[in-house]
Structure 1
Amino acid sequence: MHLSYGDQLLPMEKVLRDPVHDYVYIQHKIILDLINTSEFQRLRRIKQLGTTSLTFHGAEHSRFGHCLGVYEITRRICDMFARNYPSKTPGDGGWDDHERLVALCAALLHDIGHGPYSHTFEHIFHTDHEALTVQILTSPDTEVNQVLRQVSPEFPSQVAAVIQKTYPNPQVVQMISSQIDADRMDYLLRDSYYTGTDYGNFDLTRILRVMKPYQGGITFAMEGMHAVEDYIVSRFQMYMQVYFHPVSRSMEVILDHLLERANELYQNHSINAEATPHMLLPFFNNDFTLHDYLRLDDGVLDTYFNHWRDSKDQILADLATRFLDRRPLKSARLTEQTQSLLPKLQQLIEQAGFDSHYYTATNDSYDLPYDAYDPKMKKPRTQIELMQEDGSLVELSTVSDLVRAITGKVSGDRRFFFPKEMLSDQIDLFNDVNQAFQAHIQNDRLIL
């Protein structure tokens, strides 16, 4: 019997060594073909955590490794569901293993649209990595699309629908995107491993064992509540200790201002010909193609930053040097008491010879560690539900004292960033500022 392309298995499964999952198992020919596409290989050249590697030096891992990890967790979920909860009649809430291929492809490709230093790049050039992911999947010009189309003409759009959360089977969508999904589970474990921290570790094996498909998506057995609690707390700790780290955010501010300055100089025809970032011009002109986008990675930007070290524009040269040589700005938490001092602080920074637009910033980093479903939210979150012995479902925070204590509690802070030189012996201008802010700066956790 001739198997369709999507059903073709490799003669022998291929395994990739992985420091988080031990092995990533590749069984379908389509998965190997997707990994070997130009667009997927590009992810090797994009760091998973961007500027975080300038705080945690081990965090050099890439989006490539993360995407493989999300695929592997999704593969394990599919295996578990197929073995333990197979659908016997249509609509019974069990797992239909015909959905495996679309789930595996969506897991593997979910981050393929990320750009260099992704979130900062998105902010400056108003790109959308999710929309670009969909474009990569559905454009006939990409190798990824050509591979997916071999399954069926509709298959690229079906995989894209999972990313867009419009796919009709909620089980597949929630595997890839929910408050406890393969994406989050992999990045918590992977980021914890590479940053050298323990905050993101949780019992993945146990969580996979207690996952269950049902008519409305994915739920968890009541006896697995403590494993889910552990995951929620791990996520909370990673955001507070790693993702919201003030030094990483400081380097993001410098990167943001560096790209903004280059854009401004280009728009004003003030950038040197030898320093013209030709591969960025489509983005400066807000007229880029998918081909333009896919040519970019972290190394391309770093090369331009090296060119800009020698720019005749002092601000561009200084910001490039600060970024490449890891010279973060200082920061202090903003409170209601210190907010009113910002105009005075910016004035003093100007007096010290710094352009306050490029050398100061306020930066917000907030996250909800867990939030019960609220249909009034702009983007309602899929709540975590537990299945009781009688088959009824209860929302996690209604039965977990631990999760209820942090449900809806916003974590994170708002910080004011300024040049470290303002605290040096040579520049004493901050002495004129309200002593409350001075004390706030000195007492705050300022890690270099």
Structure 2
Amino acid sequence: MVSHRLTQKLDEEKVFKDPVHRYVHVYDKLIWDLINTSEFQRLRRIRQLGTSYVTFHGAEHSRFNHSLGVYEVMRRILEKFMSRPAWSTEMPGWSEEDRLLCLCAALLHDVGHGPFSHSFEKVFDTDHEEWTRKILLGETQINQVLQQVSADFPHKVNEVIAKTYENKLVVSLISSQIDADRMDYLLRDAYYTGVNYGNFDLERILRVMRPHEEYAVIKYSGMHAVEDYIMSRYQMYWQVYFHPVTRSADVILRKIFKRVKDLYEQGYRFACPPRLLEGFLAGKIELKDYLRLDESTILYYFQMWQEEKDGILADLCDRFINRRLFKYVGFNPSSHMRLSLELEQLFKQAGIDPDYYLEFESSSDLPYDYYRPGEEGERLPIHLLMPDGELRELSQASHIVQSISGKAQTDHKIYFAQDLLEKKEKTYPAVVAKIKQALRDAEKSGVR
């Protein structure tokens, strides 16, 4: 029996003005009710690009923006698929419930992200995907809305996001190498950072996308649009997402969380106690505590901790708030162990704590990959639908994509407090000279 909730429409279409897609259209009451839950509204207070705003001043957009955008891309994909009866044979068992599952998964795929999520997760050993699951299945407004469809509907939405749902076509539209999520964040992040790298022809891709059994395929005539999309992703990672200045801010952010955690475990008495972080610091995190956190809360603590008696915490917070970032040099990963031991000892000799003022950091990305039997990791390659009806994997037809396929690129940087080295130079001239020489040597060996 089909739930009335599956087919219930709004009395009047709701429209969000959007700088990327022009408009986001909402017709289903289910989607409108999900948008108005407190858990989804919380995403307004979490930036999409974390600390990238310190590098690209326009990057203030939120997870809320992005989630609506992913929903809109998904809505347009489904609109094209379902308006063509000839494609019905390529969508076996497709139902109204599957349509709603796609839209809900697109809207809610990022609902578990926390403040400065990836840096926060590294220190407190949390996982936004696990929090997404808890929000979907726990005692939340989102769960209550989804339950109105059916008792198992929240579980199905979770399975789509977790990539375990039985209908693989549904999963692929939200999680593959060309999906609604990636298509929105590339365009959106390019727009808000003011760069051109992430731009590609979304309209063309949507026109040439076709459902095919367990995944969507692209007509061969649209190959060049997909090449542009792949190269856009490649450029955005190296020019925006892995920008060394942004990574410097990330390093300081992680150092702040680490210092707070260390002080908490030592029994330090904070002038401004981190009450909203106590569950994380004690390793006993409740869902209600997680949902209370957003970036405005974290930044409030950073503002207050600039006046803490602990000099390291006060200094790190001042660095983050006032953009006094660490300097950086490249290094060769083959010398990582020797170099890290050497620099840690030299920093200690100079009276600088390497735990908080020195960091070896590496960022890696695989712009496009294809399935290789026997290797771990799930890869769903992009397939082209050839004029004769056969399918061909993208890198076999595109020389451009072939040149970067399966080739992970990694950038290695050493981050350090240059200003502290300058301050210590008068007291420890010989030690600081050795540090500077070691950093110069690392930079030479790390040139790509």
TM-score when normalising by structure 2: 0.93
Who is 1:24 aligned against? 24
User: Against the structure 1 CA distance between its residues 243 and 88, is the aligned structure 2 distance closer, same or farther, given a 3 Å change threshold?
Assistant: closer
Q: Which string of whole-angstrom CA distances, capped at 9 and with x for unpartnered residues, describes residues 17-53 of structure 1? A: 0010000001001111100000000000000011111
Q: Which moved more, 1:151-160 or 1:337-346?
A: 337-346
Task: Report how far residue 310 of structure 1 moved.
Answer: 1.0
CA distance in 1, matches of 2:85, 2:359: 52
Task: Report how far residue 169 of structure 1 moved.
Answer: 1.1
What is the percent sequence identity of the aligned residues?
A: 51
Structure 2: which 5+ residue stretches go unaligned? Answer: none
Task: Report how far residue 68 of structure 1 moved.
Answer: 0.1
Establish whether residue 412 from structure 1 lines up as the match of residue 410 from structure 2: yes
Instruction: Give the counterpart of 1:306 among 270, 285, 303.
Output: 303
Contact residue 111 and residue 133 of structure 1 kept, 8 A: yes
Who is 2:180 aligned against? 182
Q: Which string of whole-angstrom CA distances, capped at 9 and with x for unpartnered residues, describes residues 43-89 of structure 1? A: 00000011111111110000000000000000000001011255546
Who is 1:431 aligned against? 433
CA distance in 1, matches of 2:339, 2:98: 57
Who is 1:50 aligned against? 50
CA distance in 2, matches of 1:92, 1:121: 40
Who is 1:115 aligned against? 114
CA distance in 2, matches of 1:292, 1:425: 41
Q: Which moved more, 1:436-445 or 1:385-394?
A: 436-445
Q: Which string of whole-angstrom CA distances, capped at 9 and with x for unpartnered residues, describes residues 154-194 of structure 1? A: 11111111001111111110110001111011110000001
Q: Which moved more, 1:37-46 or 1:434-443?
A: 434-443
Instruction: Give the counterpart of 1:334 among 318, 327, 331.
Output: 331
User: Against the structure 1 CA distance between its residues 388 and 308, is the aligned structure 2 distance closer, same or farther, given a 3 Å change threshold?
Assistant: same
Amino acid at match of 1:281: E
Contact residue 44 and residue 62 of structure 1 kept, 8 A: yes
Contact residue 332 and residue 446 of structure 2 kept, 8 A: no
Amino acid at match of 2:276: M
CA distance in 1, matches of 2:125, 2:84: 44
Establish whether residue 172 from structure 1 lines up as the match of residue 170 from structure 2: yes
CA distance in 2, matches of 1:373, 1:267: 45
Root mean square deviation, CA, Å: 2.2
Contact residue 85 and residue 212 of structure 1 kept, 8 A: no
- The SS at the match of 1:406 is coil
Amino acid at match of 1:61: H
CA distance in 1, matches of 2:423, 2:114: 41
Task: Report how far residue 307 of structure 1 moved.
Answer: 1.6
Q: Which string of whole-angstrom CA distances, capped at 9 and with x for unpartnered residues, describes residues 124-167 of structure 1? A: 1111111111111111x100011111111111111111001111
1:250-329 pair list within 5 angstroms: 250-272=248-270, 274-329=271-326
Task: Report how far residue 379 of structure 1 moved.
Answer: 2.5
Amino acid at match of 2:287: L
Contact residue 26 and residue 32 of structure 1 kept, 8 A: yes
Contact residue 94 and residue 214 of structure 1 kept, 8 A: no
Task: Report how far residue 308 of structure 1 moved.
Answer: 1.0
User: Against the structure 1 CA distance between its residues 56 and 308, is the aligned structure 2 distance closer, same or farther, given a 3 Å change threshold?
Assistant: same
User: Against the structure 1 CA distance between its residues 376 and 294, is the aligned structure 2 distance closer, same or farther, given a 3 Å change threshold?
Assistant: farther
Contact residue 188 and residue 200 of structure 1 kept, 8 A: yes
Establish whether residue 225 from structure 1 lines up as the match of residue 223 from structure 2: yes
Structure 1: which 5+ residue stretches go unaligned? Answer: none
Task: Report how far residue 431 of structure 1 moved.
Answer: 3.1
- The SS at the match of 1:16 is strand
User: Against the structure 1 CA distance between its residues 203 and 423, is the aligned structure 2 distance closer, same or farther, given a 3 Å change threshold?
Assistant: farther
Moved over 6 A (4+): 442-445
Q: Which moved more, 1:222-231 or 1:416-425?
A: 416-425
TM-score when normalising by structure 1: 0.93
Q: How many residues align?
A: 441
CA distance in 1, matches of 2:188, 2:446: 29
- The SS at the match of 2:403 is helix
User: Against the structure 1 CA distance between its residues 436 and 248, is the aligned structure 2 distance closer, same or farther, given a 3 Å change threshold?
Assistant: same
Q: Which string of whole-angstrom CA distances, capped at 9 and with x for unpartnered residues, describes residues 279-321 of structure 1? A: 1001111111111110000011111111211111111111111
- The SS at the match of 1:220 is strand
Contact residue 257 and residue 358 of structure 1 kept, 8 A: yes
